[in-house]
Structure 1
Amino acid sequence: MDEKAFTVEFCKYLKSKFQDIKVEYIKELEVRYKIAGKEEITALLYNAYTEYRIDPSEINSIFEKSIVWVNDKNKKTMENIVPIIKGKRFYMEIQDLKFGKDLYFEKLNEELYIYYAFDNEHHISYVKIEDLKKLEISSNEIRDVAIDNLITLVPQIKRIDFDGFFIITANGIYESSLILLDDIWTKENFPVKGDFVIAIPAREVLLITGTQEEKGLKILKEKYLNDDMEYSYFITKEMFVLRNSRWEVY
């Protein structure tokens, strides 16, 4: 099934699930819909389509995951804002959408962006510029607020050791966001040779090696960042090095 057919099927699925719903096909992998009594939603199906390509037999559960949150209460408070790392592809995909223009974000480097979201247990909703105004949060303080909340959400970070690199696990959602926690980036936590080098190909994947770890760098490139690897919630296949407290493209 190509992208257009997948999007059409998602529209059909929405109409089969809800009686009072208006669905608008915007373009491939982008749908706008509104359920009576709820906010209008712009659904970006890029991650869903990647999941479908990995396992087409799971299409119904993939669709269900994409809409399950409409039944939840969408709480928007300072206490449930979290940072979300996104790559250039996501940034470029949403730039021409009203949805994208409404969102608040910060540029981390030429490949990575920080978006913010309200974590509501079963779903997230992205923080809009108007949300900051309503909550009276300035652009200077939102990152600190979100990082404090992230620490609460992932109280335990585990390191899995391999020859020349580490895999980091937390809660299965925000691993990539851990690159924003300045205090964890010590050689005591991650004893690698040289400067820290990371790969975050997906939101739940954080791989760590060092600039002098030849084997680790080779494994990351060939196993996790090769052209054939597909990830749900894809971020980027670039690697990044920590220099002067900043993540730079490696």
Structure 2
Amino acid sequence: MELLRRLFGKKPTPSSGNGNLLDAKAFAQRYAATVKELLGPAEVRIQSDDTNRFSVRWDSEGGWEICHFLDNAYDTYRRDPDNLDQIIHTYIRNQDQATQTQDEAVVLPVIKTRAWLDASLEQMRQAFPDATPDQMPFLTRPLSNDELLITYVEDSGEQMRFVGGEVLEKFGGDREALHRLALDNLQRQWLPHLQLKGGDGRYFVTLDTNYEASMALLFEHWRERLEVAGEPVLAIPARDRLMICGSEDKEGLGKLRQVATDMAAESPYSLSNDLFVFRDGDLLAFTGP
């Protein structure tokens, strides 16, 4: 299904009149070849969705999938097609730097579902029946809705692991301090890369990473960039999807609900088909029509 087109209208086309301009697929192939040349992973995969939104993915040595979404890079190339190689090299280098720290892994917040937590804990109980709750490898923070919660990961740029009690000990058991640090890290490391696509009161977030959904937790920091009718309503159907329209946009809400339902059903990183509003640092269920 053409999910994003159904929400945001006709798919954009390149504005340049240059007949030699690479299309999105050819650009992704060139980008993947450069990743292979510069970084040398065993396999580089190209993926796309129904709107020609391409990503280049490969596995790190630690087994974590590294993903570069190409929206921003391709937009830059279309504005300056004579500097193709320089643009690709710059984006690969910047992404590589953005996903790594010099000394240690960075604690970041990740949105998950309560169903995921229940299933994960049950697997842990079966594997380690004598483990106490404090020994479970997940620290979580509830949100004021019935479906989503926050958990935390340490992200080294090469691999991610969930944060457990051993990390909390570094904060003297202070969960609030850990949460504030995770939000600060997310804001410092990823907010500068957030871009909004769409318009006319309907938007989606692109971030070139695994933290699109997490950016809902920083909504107050980029709310002013939106122009919507009424209160902003957020759809968070998958880890790499975050979409917004206004509470008074009845047509947009209907499309947003349908797109969120389809994406949540189809994505391997599914979260929720519900809609939410951000109030007082929390995600609440949207109760409007």
- The TM-score normalised by the length of structure 1 is 0.64
Structure 2 residue 131 is the aligned partner of structure 1 residue 95: no
CA offsets, 1:167-195, max 9 Å, x none?
11113310111111153253x31111111
Q: Is there any run of 5+ residues in structure 2 with no aligned partner, and where?
A: 1-46, 48-56, 65-100, 126-132
| Whole-angstrom CA distance in 2 between matches of 1:227 and 1:239 | 13
Quick check: 1:237 aligned with 2:263? Answer: no
* Residue 116 (structure 1) shift: 0.3
Aligned to 1:86: 112
Q: Which residue of 2 aligns with 1:175?
A: 212
Q: Which residue of the partner structure matches residue 220 of structure 1?
A: 256
User: Is 2:130 the counterpart of 1:104?
Assistant: no
The alpha-carbon deviation at position 238 of structure 1 amounts to: 1.1
CA contact (8 A) 1:197 1:240 kept: yes
Cα distance in 1 for residues equivalent to 2:284 and 2:105: 30
Tell me, in whole angstroms, the C-alpha distance in 1 between the residues paired with 2:183 and 2:193.
Answer: 14
Give distance in 2, aligned partners of 1:89 and 1:129: 21
Compute the RMSD of aligned alpha carbons.
3.1
Q: CA deviation at 1:129?
A: 1.6
**Which one-letter code corresponds to 2:255 in the other structure?**
I
What letter corresponds to residue 89 of structure 1 in structure 2?
A
State TM-score, norm by structure 2.
0.56
Secondary structure (helix, strand or coil) at the match of 1:216 reads helix
Q: Please give the alpha-carbon distance, in whole angstroms, between the structure 2 residues aligned to 1:183 and 1:141.
A: 20
Query: Which structure 2 residues correspond to residues 139-154 of structure 1 after superposition, within 5 A?
Result: 139-154=175-190
Q: Flag structure 1 segments of 5+ consecutive residues without an equivalent.
A: 1-50, 52-60, 70-74
Residues 89 and 235 of structure 1 are in contact (CA less than 8 Å); yes or no, is this contact kept in structure 2? Answer: no
* 2:255 maps to 1:207: no
Q: Partner of 1:5 in structure 2? A: none
Structure 1 residue 144, shift from structure 2 partner = 1.1
Mapped to 1, the partners of 2:174 and 2:185 lie a distance apart of 16
| Residue aligning to 1:68 | 63
> In structure 2, what residue type is equivalent to 1:104?
L
Aligned residues: 184
Q: Does the 8 A contact of 2:257 with 2:274 survive in 1?
A: no
Q: Do the aligned partners of residues 164 and 216 (structure 1) sit closer, same or farther apart at CA in structure 2, a change above 3 Å counting? A: farther
Distance 2:110 2:257 in 1: 23
Matched to 1:149, the amino acid is N
Cα distance, 1:66 vs. partner? Answer: 10
Greater mean deviation of Cα atoms: 176-185 or 108-117: 176-185
Query: What is the DSSP-based 3-state SS (H/G/I as helix, E as strand, rest coil) of the residue aligned with 2:262?
Result: coil
Q: Helix, strand or coil for the counterpart of 1:114?
A: strand
Identity percentage of aligned residues: 26
| Alpha-carbon separation, structure 2, partners of 1:228 and 1:84 | 17
Name 2:221's counterpart in structure 1.
184
